[in-house]
Amino acid sequence: MNVKLHNRLFGVGLLLLLALTACSGANGGGSGAMDITVETLDTFRFSPATLTADVGQTLNVTLNNTGVLEHNFVIDEFNVSLGPVPAGQTSSGSFTPNAAGSYTYYCNVPGHREAGMEGTLTVNP
Ligand SMILES: [Cu+2]
C-alpha cells in the first residue's frame, strides 16, 4: 500500500514537471509570437537597433514615431514595409521570418537610410 501511494505521488510529480516544461517552452522564446515596439527617431535611428527572433516566429511590430519627421520600417527579404508613419503616430504589422540569417531593416524615406537609419534583425535557426 505504501508503494502504491508512492507511485501515485511520483506520477503526479511527473505530470507537474511535464506541464511546467511545456509552459516554459511556450513562453521562453520558442516559436511563440513576439510583440515588439520599435521607436523611430528623428536622429535617424531605430530604437532598438537590433532585434532577435527564431525562424517561424511571428513578429508583431508596432512602429512608434516619436519624431516630427515621417519614418517607416522596411525589410526587403521578407517583403516587410510598415508605414510611412506620420509624426506622433503608430503603425502595426506582422511578419514571420522563414530563413535564418542577419537582415537589415531600414527607413526608406529619402535620405534617412543614408543618414544611418538602419537596424539588424538576427533570425536564429
Ligand atoms: Cu526615417
pLDDT in tens, 79-102: 999 999 999 999 999 999 999 999
- Spacing, Cα 45 to ligand 1 middle (Å): 8
Collect all residues with Cβ–Cβ distance below 8 Å to 106 and sequence separation of at least 6: 73, 74, 112, 113, 117, 118, 119
Q: Is the pLDDT of residue 24 over 80?
A: no
pTM: 0.75
- Spacing, Cα 64 to ligand 1 middle (Å): 12
- Spacing, Cα 17 to ligand 1 middle (Å): 48
What does residue 13 show for φ and ψ, rounded to 5 degrees? Answer: -60, -40
- Spacing, Cα 39 to ligand 1 middle (Å): 11
